[in-house]
A and B are shown apart, each in its own frame.
Chain A
Amino acid sequence: MSPQHGSQPIQHQFNPYSDNGGTLLGIAGEDFAILASDTRQSVDYSINTRLSHKIKVISPPVTKEMKLESTDIVGTKNSVLFGTNGFSADGDALTKAFEENWKWYVHDQNSNVETGFEFLNENNEEKESFMSMQSAARNVQHLLYGKRFFPYYVHTILAGLDEEGKGCVYSFDPVGSYEREQCRVGGAGASLIMPFLDNQVNFKNQYIPGTNSTERRKIEYLSLDECLKLVKDAFTSVTERHITVGDGLEIFIIDKNGVRSEYHALKKD
């Protein structure tokens, strides 16, 4: 109905969302996983800050012994690397909500408390102390779907090690649909990087030479170095082509030794 008809006043509505740009990328290797993001936060054509953190390492306490083995450790092998991309206020709120759940899960499991009944554990099995990636992912689904009709406007990616110690990546849409994957890109650069990763990680459209495109190249795990190269190439490239990506690249790597991080400058233009 046009406003002239006058029966209904025009409603000026508050838009509770904004797009804060940026890109988030996760790759799972055989015994490691990577979660990386750029550090720019922007809105429209403005750069809010060149150094914001879209990834949170949610980790049990890092012990002195672990620090001795490697000084730059920022989390244990039981960590969840939690990344969000999209509307940053929702991203921060979701991260906080998950962290809360993760902590309560640890407390409810009574995990770090010596019970005095350890002798019953004849096989000396390591007690499950911290939230598994499978449980973390399901919990995030609940958080996201809980706001199904006023969604967290974010693309969420978790990275960590599964219960067999294998690298894993879980990715979510804004309302909680999720999947475990070998790799995933979220956010502004997704459409630019994802096809590249399909080809380079999952060997899509790669065929064995001489088979006349009939025999696919067999999927195999990439090494950590190969993955890091891919990540850096992906971000330098998307920085060239996307205006909301740039400034800095933050990479978190989790393996059996724990979590460490790298920072690389990206173009600030």
Chain B
Amino acid sequence: MTSVGTGYDLSNSVFSPDGRNFQVEYASKAVENGSTTVGLKCKDGVVFGVEKIIANKLLVPGKNRKIQTIDRHIGCCYSGLIPDGKHLVNRGREEATNFRNTYGKPIPVSAMSERLSQYVQAYTLYNSVRPFGISTIFGGVLKTENGGDNKPELFMLDPNGSCWGYKGIATGKGRQTAKAELEKLITSETFDFSTLSAKQAVEEVARIIYLAHEDNKDKDFELELSWCSLSETNGFHKYVPEEVYNEAVENAKSAVGLADSDESGEEDMEVDAQ
């Protein structure tokens, strides 16, 4: 942070002499401390997982959901400033409505990525605004009968407005561990996307979130899992059902050596959520 105090970090729309926009970089700091968020593609869909740190014992288990739906076929989660994320999701919903009204079919995920990244990028241009303090992972699958191609798509959008497509991606506090795990998974010789089922992907995401939580062990957390898959949810973005959820959590716990421990929050959550 050599440039702190130089004045170039006070505003958007002003570059520092070495060509950096510090406000945007600071926004990324907000993300780095956010809760771990993972997205993973599978053969016919995408899966999302969020590590939800329990900031307060008074919070109701299973409520205060973090994963959201942008359109019927697009799921979204983010780490960083939660209200910023809510706002971006609202914008996404407007874009989805707009696209539907204009073209008579649901918006392709790639088109959504273009529109959201343009929106986020615009918040890096003016000194009257601040950038979004979130990294957003979103994706889904649009069925051919709705004008899509049955191919799952997954993106991550950063505070500077750049948006890339991924096979699997993570952001937030535990991103290093999570990304390393994803890389390990995807580059292994036995791995093949064309055979990875949504259920398997859910297991992997759950495991990775639990693993990434190891560095942050002193805090309790709830796991949130959602998916959007042709075979499992008919192309709709939905929370994973109780049985799948419980199984994934059990396996994740045993994978990180937590099996049947005293972390009962997750079961409570699902019981409550029904």
* Touch test A–B (CB under 8 Å): no
Binding site for A on B (CB under 8 A): none
Binding site for B on A (CB under 8 A): none
